[in-house]
């Protein structure tokens, strides 16, 4: 997944040229771009969503609030370091959809690559691929099979195409046999694929 | 609002409308690839785009629309983040944030490995205030349970995916009130950023969209009020 050295040098220079032009014109600050790189690579990530999932497994009031109005819940969450300088967070409209024995949820953006960036950071490469965008609505069960998901007989698949302002996160089912675990231990079980819906069992 | 173009209008689908494509059948790439950026420039253009949006230089809809305007051969000839670089640069030039001469100067400095100097940028940590802007009240034409026909939006940049065009679905909830992407890219002042439209979650049986789909499955999307027409029961 790397570009040839010559092409890489050209793209690196073009990005730097654009950044130089915008900073020289006083339109953006290099420090803001540096901070944004740090935000999306170090401070945001699936662990923030995983913590919300683990809490929902342990606290039914929180779970119901999350399913009814995840945006409202998110506005009250203390995201600590991840909230500092997070200019996208106040604009994030989050919808949480819950997996049950009868329903499996999968999230896609067929038009571009919409994803709850301001919470989960940048999306995985496969999420942005032409193949996922084309196939997730057309043949979700075949796509899920490639990820190793085996659905129980009678389970329906619900595909959420992120076509507008809302960003989606899946609330996976709590794994059996985890009754004794703490919230932090539970959160450690939650993977990014399970938050997008390309993994069912944790 | 002007009348919408007819759904499933003749003509080839634009390159970004991938969901109706039966010819894209590759395996999902990079399932086990945890890296979000594979080269430094990818992280840099990603952060530059997010910063430009946060500072109000460009909107996400303008950015998407610029990617969507790429001809198919360019769209498919570029990697994901190359499209981002193209769109941010194109949009900053079109909107007059920088000139071609600025870009050439930036290129000369980049080629010489000179570092850009930080300069102050406007902070915007909250949704923009709407004080003083006259906007019409938001109309919710449809209630939960309404049967609706899904059509293309009224503008050049609408958010109706190919798989859903012309289908009938059921409104399952009202997501809230948001600017219409079709108008945001028109840059016509208040009508673009400040007029709000109801956004609905609509569900369609998967077999209505794809014949071979599993009859248990459901496809859902979010669609703005102007994209919907009342459907017969």
Render pLDDT for B38-57 as a digit per residue (tens, 0 to 9): 999 999 999 999 999 999 99
Give the confidence band of B132 by pLDDT, cuts at 50, 70, 90: low
Give the confidence band of B11 by pLDDT, cuts at 50, 70, 90: low
Q: What is the ipTM of this complex?
A: 0.95
CA distance B173 to B203: 10
| Domain B15-125 matches domain B147-230 at the CATH topology level | no
Any catalytic annotation for residue A109? yes
DSSP-derived letter for residue A155 is P
B173 in contact with chain A, both atoms CB, cutoff 8 A:
no
A177 or B1, which is more confident: A177
* Residue range B15-125, CATH number: 1.10.472.20
Contacts 24+ apart (CB under 8 A), B73-79: B75/B15, B75/B16, B76/A130, B76/B15, B79/A3
CA distance B21 to B24: 6
Asked if residue A111 has pLDDT above 60, the reply is: yes
- Annotated domain spans of chain B: 15-125, 147-230
Min Cα distance A116 → chain B (Å) is 13
CB B224 within 8 A of CB B198: yes
Min Cα distance B18 → chain A (Å) is 5
Query: Of A19, A31, A11, whose CA–CA distance to B97 is shortest?
Result: A19
Average pLDDT of chain B is 87
Nearest CA in chain B to A42: B36
Asked if residue B126 has pLDDT above 70, the reply is: no
Of B16, B34, B43, the CB nearest to A112: B16
- Taken in order B5, B6, B12, B17, the sign of the CA dihedral is positive
Give the confidence band of B3 by pLDDT, cuts at 50, 70, 90: very low
B13 or B216, which is more confident: B216
Residue with tokens 């599993």: B214
Give the confidence band of B188 by pLDDT, cuts at 50, 70, 90: low
Any catalytic annotation for residue A113? yes
Give the confidence band of B112 by pLDDT, cuts at 50, 70, 90: confident
Judged by average pLDDT, the poorest of A36-45, A59-68, A126-135, B3-12 is B3-12
Residue B7: per-residue pLDDT = 46
Third-level CATH fold of B147-230: SH3 type barrels. (2.30.30)
Q: Which CATH number fits domain A45-196: 3.50.50.60, 3.40.50.150, 1.20.120.430, 3.90.330.10?
A: 3.90.330.10
CB B144 within 8 A of CB B202: no
- Annotated domain spans of chain A: 5-40, 45-196
A202 in contact with chain B, both atoms CB, cutoff 8 A:
no
């Amino acid at each position: 997944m790397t570009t040839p050295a010559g092409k890489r040098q050209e793209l690196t220079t073009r990005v730097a040229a654009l950044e130089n032009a915008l900073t020289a014109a006083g339109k953006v600050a290099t420090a803001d771009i540096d901070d944004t790189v740090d935000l999306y690579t170090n401070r945001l990530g699936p662990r923030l969503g995983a913590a919300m999932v683990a809490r929902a497994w342990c606290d039914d009031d929180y779970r119901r609030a999350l399913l009814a109005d995840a945006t409202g819940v998110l506005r009250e969450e203390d995201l600590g370091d991840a909230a500092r300088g997070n200019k996208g967070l106040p604009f994030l409209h989050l919808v949480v959809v819950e997996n049950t024995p009868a329903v499996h949820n999968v999230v896609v953006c067929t038009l571009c690559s919409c994803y709850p960036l301001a919470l989960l950071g940048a999306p995985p490469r496969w999420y942005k691929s032409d193949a996922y965008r084309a196939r997730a609505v057309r043949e979700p069960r075949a796509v899920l099979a490639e990820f190793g998901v085996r659905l129980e007989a009678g389970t329906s698949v619900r595909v959420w195409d992120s076509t507008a302002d809302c960003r989606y996160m899946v609330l996976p089912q709590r794994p059996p046999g985890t009754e004794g675990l703490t919230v932090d231990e539970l959160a450690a079980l939650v993977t990014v694929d399970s938050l997008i819906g390309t993994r069912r069992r944790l | 609002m002007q009348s919408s173009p007819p759904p499933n209008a003749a003509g080839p689908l634009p390159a970004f409308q991938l969901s109706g494509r039966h010819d894209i059948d590759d395996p999902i790439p990079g399932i086990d690839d945890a890296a979000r950026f594979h080269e430094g420039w990818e992280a840099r253009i990603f952060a530059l785009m997010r910063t430009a949006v946060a500072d109000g230089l460009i909107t996400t809809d303008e950015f998407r629309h610029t990617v969507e305007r790429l001809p198919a051969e360019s769209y498919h000839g570029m990697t994901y983040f190359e499209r981002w670089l193209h769109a941010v640069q194109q949009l900053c030039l079109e909107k007059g944030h920088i000139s071609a001469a600025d870009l050439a100067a930036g290129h000369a400095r980049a080629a010489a490995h000179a570092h850009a100097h930080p300069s102050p940028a406007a902070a915007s940590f909250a949704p923009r205030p709407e004080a003083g802007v006259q906007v019409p009240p938001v109309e919710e034409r449809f209630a939960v349970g309404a049967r609706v026909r899904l059509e293309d939006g009224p503008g050049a940049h609408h958010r109706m995916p190919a798989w859903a065009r012309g289908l009938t679905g059921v409104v399952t909830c009202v997501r809230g009130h948001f600017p219409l992407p079709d108008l945001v890219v028109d840059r016509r002042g208040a009508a673009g950023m400040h007029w709000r439209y109801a956004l609905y979650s609509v569900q369609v049986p998967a077999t209505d969209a794809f014949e071979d789909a599993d009859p248990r499955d459901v496809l859902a999307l979010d669609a703005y009020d102007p994209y919907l027409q009342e459907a017969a029961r």
